[in-house]
Structure 1
């Protein structure tokens, strides 16, 4: 019989087989001697700092795998992207496609670069992309966009909080002027106010152009935050630049109905013939799978319903110079499949938190720019298109993995490609 409850000793075998109490205390006690390993004081990149850092690293480490000639030649490019640089990590990059997207901003056939070490992943997205293209492409629509930062202010009581809010609602034009003085691209779009007792959370929402915009929004909001502290008629007893209401790098339910980054929906209709040809299953079985796994998602407390958005987004983000940590928030959304009156499969995805840019951040680094160039989406005027491609890519992955489970090919594919 399986155990339904684990005892203390089940969870802590160290106390049965590990060191005795005095040895354990010695192992786990703080140590205050000077570290034998120390970094260079300067975090920047130069020939001198690189040499000093490598002197501190274990000599058995294969330096050539991190600091090869090409990396050394382009080292200066990384100065605004990383501190205490020692080299680059090489990840395999594959391409999936062609993926046809019929979007408001992305309109064409795309080869999508994906950086991953997970075998079978690119093959799955390649199959889904070709299926979508055979069906005439995925319709994709950018619905909304906005990047937020959320200062929080604490007052002695709700009366003070109320007076503060009464002042804030008169200050939008001033806040907008202050915020936009810090950037030529960011625009303050909206301010939402949340009151929780004597705490007030202000949600500043920006449009960030073709940049992902997180640093831009932080700097702009900080200027407004300082303006508030200097001019507010009620002085807060405590305040912080961010009150953790923005959902920055965290999955959260709020943006399921709103937006952080870019909110995109994408759809495709697949004939019975295409489902059978590419996925070796039927539309009915895929719809049933979606129904049962939606219940499973609810039972597990999931935010939204999807099979594996994170696989597509992590691989795309890493390849194309996006902030990979944003996958934690980007990989929530809703996948839905249903039969249309003709018995074909209708499938759609909605992702409210696609956090991508085509300028700034890591998009200008050599390898990452090359991947964006493969897509034809590097530079100004391309970020909205990249978001629509990302949504269509997620749709391709959902179709492929659901088809694999329905056809009982999921395990077989991993056995074949990952061993």
Structure 2
């Protein structure tokens, strides 16, 4: 058991090490003036669309034949495992913003990020936030922790039976880890938590899931473990279920000190002159707006203090083939702003539940694959990169909306672009 506990600690926190900080410290972003700008002319014409498609093909060297409509999806066999009663594809407008400059523990460089939405002003807002950030430097991002949970729940006649059961369970952690390895090539069982409510026992199995978002993977592994438990434990529960609705799956929860998917934090210091030129505001205006918004979140009992991370995540998830319902948990965020000794504005965001995948699910469908390839996030070894790009994107959106509200531009932007 001691060996397992040692492995658990290592697996949960091995993202934080000296090599990561050396990598972050040595990164020098390319000057903002050297980065290619997305063609913005003719926003609503076929000519403007062609300009942007040519930009992607020539400068980003990406294939966008399906996104452009030049090719049409017709591989119906590939839908197995993703949908039932298929009738066709819903078409959602997709654009790009950027470049988004990131100095992350995994994601490093500049990215032109695809976003799918029907909300006018959304891409303009994130594009403006990305511009303010890159003219101030790079957004620093660190992945802190990783884990995906299932919470099987068991009911007993009384507490004595529950106690015998849980004692047996805790003495078989190594067996459960072996069962996980037998069931999946990628899942690793890192932790087992116990929560007792009278004669109800909630177990929390926490796994890592490689480059898949992992919900199905951890469900199958947890089911294998639970069936082993039921067949071998000394006390049989009167009822059990694979999920007691305590894992945080597809819903906002107050468990911001834990993790679901990846726990990631990001920061940037915005220069006061950039705030003036790009955001048309001042550090003091943004800081006061953030304080008001932070207080409002607390007063209304919000889960987290973010303004609208779900906007970024929903648009990114749709474009890149993610489980959009996971914005329920993924959009939980703690944001912070502070004026430093130079009069510049320090901005930070921490998100404990960014659950994304770059293999499986909807990632291999044509337009979703093209979008993932635009940001070099398609395939094995890329899910951590996608998570860090996602939080950097969310930070640009928090900066942009807070500046718009603080300077009185919020309504005007929506009247101009959202009607």
Distance 1:240 1:331 in 2: 27
Output the CA distance in 2 between the equivalents of 1:72 and 1:392: 31
CA-atom RMSD in angstroms = 1.2
Structure 1 position 353, deviation (Å):
0.5
- 1:307-346 superposed matches below 5 A: 307-346=307-346
Mapping of 1:154-233 within 5 angstroms?
Answer: 154-233=155-234
Partners of 2:333 and 2:137 in 1: how far apart? 24
CA contact 2:121–2:413 (8 Å) conserved in 1? yes
1:301 aligned partner: 301
Aligned to 1:292: 292
Displacement of 1:70: 5.1
SS at match of 2:278: helix
Contact 1:155/1:238 (8 A) holds in 2: yes
Q: CA offset at residue 362 of structure 1?
A: 0.5
Q: Which residue of 1 aligns with 2:264?
A: 264
Give the distance between the partners of 1:159 and 1:74, measured in 2 at CA.
Answer: 56
Aligned runs of 1:344-363 on 2, under 5 Å? 344-363=344-363
2: distance between equivalents of 1:69 and 1:133? 33
Measure, in 2, the Cα distance between the counterparts of 1:235 and 1:79: 37
Partner in structure 2 of residue 391 of structure 1 = 391
The total of aligned residue pairs comes to: 351
SS of 2:385's equivalent in the other structure is helix
Matched residues in 2 for 1:70 and 1:214: separation? 31
Given the superposition, is the C-alpha separation of residues 340 and 118 from structure 1 closer, same or farther in structure 2, using an over 3 Å criterion? same
User: CA contact under 8 A between 1:275 and 1:282: conserved in structure 2?
Assistant: yes
Tell me how far 1:69 sits from its aligned partner.
10
Shift of 1:78: 1.7
Match of 1:282 in 2: 282
Unaligned 5+ segments in structure 1 are 1-67
Determine the C-alpha separation between the residues in 1 that align with 2:311 and 2:73: 31
> 1:404 aligns to what?
404
Shift in Å at residue 73 of structure 1? Answer: 2.1
Q: After TM superposition, where is structure 1 displaced by more than 4 Å over at least 4 residues in a row?
A: 68-72
For residue 71 of structure 1, report the CA deviation from its aligned partner: 4.6
The structure-2 alpha-carbon separation of the partners of 1:164 and 1:386, relative to structure 1 and needing over 3 Å to count, comes to same
Tell me the TM-score normalized by structure 1: 0.82
Equivalent residue number for residue 238 of structure 2: 237
1:142-199 CA distance string (max 9 Å, x none): 0001000010011111111111111111110101111221110111111111111111
**Distance in 2, Cα, partners of 1:179 & 1:189:** 10
Secondary structure of 1:399's match? helix
**Deviation of residue 72 (structure 1)?**
5.5
TM-score by length of 2: 0.82
5+ residue gaps, structure 2, are 1-68
Once the two structures are overlaid, the 10-residue window that deviates more, 402-411 or 76-85, is 76-85
The answer to whether structure 1 residue 115 and structure 2 residue 116 are counterparts is yes
The question of whether the paired residues in 1 share the 8 Å contact of 2:156 and 2:200 is answered with: yes
Question: Is the CA contact (8 Å cut-off) linking 1:71 and 1:87 kept in structure 2?
Answer: no
Counterpart secondary structure, 1:176? helix
Match of 1:364 in 2: 364
Whole-angstrom distance in 2 between the partners of 1:182 and 1:116: 38
